[in-house]
Amino acid sequence: MKRICVFCGSSQGVRPEYRQAAIDFAEVLAARRIGLVYGGASVGLMGVIADKMLAGGGEVVGVIPRMLVDSEVAHRKLTELREVNSMHERKALMAELADGFATLPGGFGTLEEFTEVVSWRLLGLHQKPCGLLNVRGYFDGLLDFLDYAVSQQFIKPLHRANILVEEYPAQLIDRLVDNFAGSNGWLARREQT
């Protein structure tokens, strides 16, 4: 696994554990020589994880729409910062550059990014692993909802089982690496048909 895409908040949240989880996640990635793909901001948990990766000598690729360069305070010290035209381009490029996805605490944008890559996986657009870092039970409500949706037959049990959930960064990274299918790109399956 070459790179993991991390979705997380442009805020740090109220609990110090959220910030610490971003630090720990970056330390594990850097130690294992796995690169980071993320939203390109220098603020919130996004800034924390990028700064810690850079401090540990890790590769950090940020992807940010031009319209957010100022409001999200684009991080100018990354290994590479790619500016794109839209949120759609941002998500597509992040998905293309990564071999798996990890979601840390965040808000609407974070949840939207997570659900989109999970949806893409169940549609067969990629076979890359998708995980949630459930810091201090942050995603418990979402997980309860997903289980309820399974019970109501709106989500298949197999698709629910594809979402890897761990409380600690090293464990989630282990599971993402173990579940990496090695696809040749996020649209590889579609391009073969």
CATH of the domain at 105: 3.40.50.450
Residue type, position 57, single letter: G
Q: Which residues contact 72 (CB under 8 A, 6 or more apart)?
A: 10, 39, 40, 41, 42, 43, 46, 64
SS3 37: strand
**Residue-level pLDDT at 190:** 36
CA distances to 56, 158, 171 from 166, rounded to whole Å, are 23, 18, 6
**From CA 177, how far away is CA 45, in angstroms rounded?**
22
**Residue-level pLDDT at 193:** 32
Domain count, the chain: 1
Range of the domain at 39: 3-192
**Residue-level pLDDT at 181:** 58
Which residue(s) pair with 63 in the sheet?
A: 82
Strand 130-133 relative to strand 101-103: parallel, antiparallel, unpaired?
Answer: parallel
Which residues of the chain have a pLDDT value below 50?
183-193
SS3 74: strand
Helix pair angle (169-178, 16-31), 10° resolution: 50
SS3 57: coil
Residue type, position 6, single letter: V
